[in-house]
Amino acid sequence: MSKIVQYQVRDSAVVDYELFELDEIEYTLRGPRPADLGDRQYAAVLGAGQSFGVLVRDPYVHLLQRSIGFPFLNLSVGGAAPGLYLRNPAYLDYANRARFCIVQVMSARGSHNSYFEARHGKNMLRPRGSSLPYVPGDTAFQKMIEHEPAALVRAVVGELRANWVRETIQLLARIKVPKVLLWFSKRTPDYREGTQSYKAISGVFPQFVNRAMIDEVADFADHYVEVVSSRGMPHVLTDRTTDAPIEVHLGDAKIANSINTYYPSPEMHEDAFALMLPALRNVLAETAPRRRKAAGRELAGAGA
C-alpha cells in the first residue's frame, strides 16, 4: 500500500514528525513508534491534526508519554472525521489492542450529508454527485453559504450534526478498551451560532460541534476532558535548527505565513497535557494488570 505522507514535506523546517508506517494504515503516523505493539503495551490516540500535533515539537501526546512512562501509538490523521476511523477496521484493531484509547472530538465538516461528499472520511469536500475537485471543507461550506438559500444551509448543517453524533457514538461503541473523550479547542462547546458566514455558523475547530452534541456522545466514553485554551496564540513558527522565524503554506493559503493561527500552539498542548494527566493516571490505575500471586490467592480462596 502506498502511504499518504502527513505534513512532513510542508513542515520539515519547523518540526521532525518522526513519521513511520504500519502495514494496514494508509497514512504515515507521527512517531515515536512504540517499541512493543503487543496487547495492552501501549495507549492509542484517534484524532485529527490537533492530536497529531501539527507544527508543535512537543504535543500533548509526547508530554503524557514522558510523564506517565507509558508509550503511545498516535493514530491521528489530519482533517479526520469519525468516518475515517470507521471505514478502516485496522485503526479500531490497534485501538482495541491498546491499554486505553484517547478519542479527540473531531470536526463535523466531513460527516455524511446529502449536499457534500467527503473524500475518505476527511475534510476534503465537493458537491455530492459532481466531478468537481475536492476542496477543504472551509472553502466548500463558504461557497454553499454564498450561493444557496439559508433554509438549505440550515438543513444541511442539521443533517451533518445528526450524522456526526451517530458516527461518534458508533466509533466510541466499537472501542472496547477504556476511552477518554477529549475536547481540545480555543472555544467551549457552548458557542453562539450565527448564519451570516461559514465562521459564524461553524465556530472554530471542531467545526459545527456544540454542547448538545457533546451531551449526546460523552456518556459513551469512560472519561470526558474539556480543554479550552488559546494560550500562545498566534503561534510564531521558527526553524527547528536555528530558531529563526520561518514561513509555511498553511491550509489552502496561497501565500506562506510565519504565523499559525489555526492549529493549537505549544502552550495549548501544555494545557491539554495538564488537564489530561489526572484522567490518564486514573485509567492506568484502573487497568493495571493484577499480580499473579494475588490472583492465585483469590482463586485458592474461591475454591475453599
Q: Whose CA is closest to 85, among 12, 21, 167?
A: 167
> 248 and 221 in contact (C-beta within 8 Å)?
no
Instruction: Quick: pLDDT tens for 184-202.
Output: 999 999 998 887 788 899 9
Per DSSP, 203 falls in state -
Hey, what amino acid is at 185? S
Domain borders along the chain are 8-234+264-303
State the pLDDT at residue 196: 77
Mean pLDDT confidence for 56-63: 98
Rounded Cα distance, 161 and 143, in Å: 19
Grouping H, G, I as helix, E, B as strand and the rest as coil, residue 269 is helix
Cell triple for residue 116?
A: 457534500
Lowest-confidence segment of 37-46, 147-156, 159-168 by average pLDDT:
147-156
- CATH class of the domain comprising 8-234+264-303: alpha beta
pLDDT digits (tens, 9 = 90+) for 68-108: 999 999 999 999 999 999 999 999 999 999 999 999 999 99
Please answer whether residues 76 and 153 qualify as being in contact, where contact means their C-beta atoms are separated by less than 8 angstroms.
no
178 grid coordinates: 477504556
Joined grid coordinates for residue 82: 469519525
Question: How far is residue 109's CA from residue 209's CA, in Å, rounded to a whole number?
Answer: 9
pLDDT digits (tens, 9 = 90+) for 3-38: 999 999 999 999 999 999 999 999 999 999 999 999
What type of residue sits at position 56?
Answer: V
pTM of the model: 0.92
Cα distance between residue 184 and residue 63, in whole Å: 15
Please check whether residue 77 is in contact with residue 163, taking contact to mean a CB–CB distance below 8 angstroms: no
